[in-house]
Amino acid sequence: MTEKAFVWVTSVSTIGTLWTWGIIMIAHRNYRLAVAAGRARASPFRMPGAPVANWLVVAFLIGVTAMLALDPDTRVALYVAPLWFGILGVAYLRTRALPLQQVPEQ
């Protein structure tokens, strides 16, 4: 059990990284769509290789997820991820529902 703890922790943290980069790619795609529709200004810095790079990154992320699924030791991350994201979602909704507190000016 303890010899697998490192593999489990790194596998679960990999899911967080995959999620983060996936969200970045989705946000960039949505930004480019907004620029094309005239709803946002174009940035002077362009992502190298976009939009092909976006799809290559997404394909890479899917490939890493598939490799996690193939190994029984790392597959635990795919079982834990929905629970973890559910907990984060509930926490987000609960904190979002709280009224904002004003900080007194000094």
**102, part of any domain:** no
**103, part of any domain:** no
Could you give the number of structural domains in the chain? 1
pLDDT at 22: 92
CA gap 30, 32 in Å, rounded: 5
pTM tops 0.75, yes or no: no
pLDDT at 38: 92
**106, part of any domain:** no
Domain containing residue 82: 2-97
pLDDT at 59: 95
49-84: pLDDT as tens digits: 888 998 999 999 999 999 989 988 888 888 888 998
CA 83 to chain CA centroid, Å, is 15
The torsion angle over the Cα atoms of residues 47, 50, 56 and 62, rounded to 10 degrees, is 70
Helix H or strand E segment including 36: helix 2-37
Q: Which of 19, 29, 33, 64 is nearest to 50 (CA)?
A: 29
- The encoded tokens of residue 66 equal 């598939």
**61, part of any domain:** yes
11-36: pLDDT as tens digits: 888 998 999 999 999 999 999 999 99
**19, part of any domain:** yes
**43, part of any domain:** yes
Q: Which of 14, 26, 16 is nearest to 88 (CA)?
A: 16
The dihedrals phi and psi of 22, each to the nearest 5 degrees, come to -65, -45
pLDDT-derived band at 45 (thresholds 50, 70, 90) equals confident
**85, part of any domain:** yes
**104, part of any domain:** no
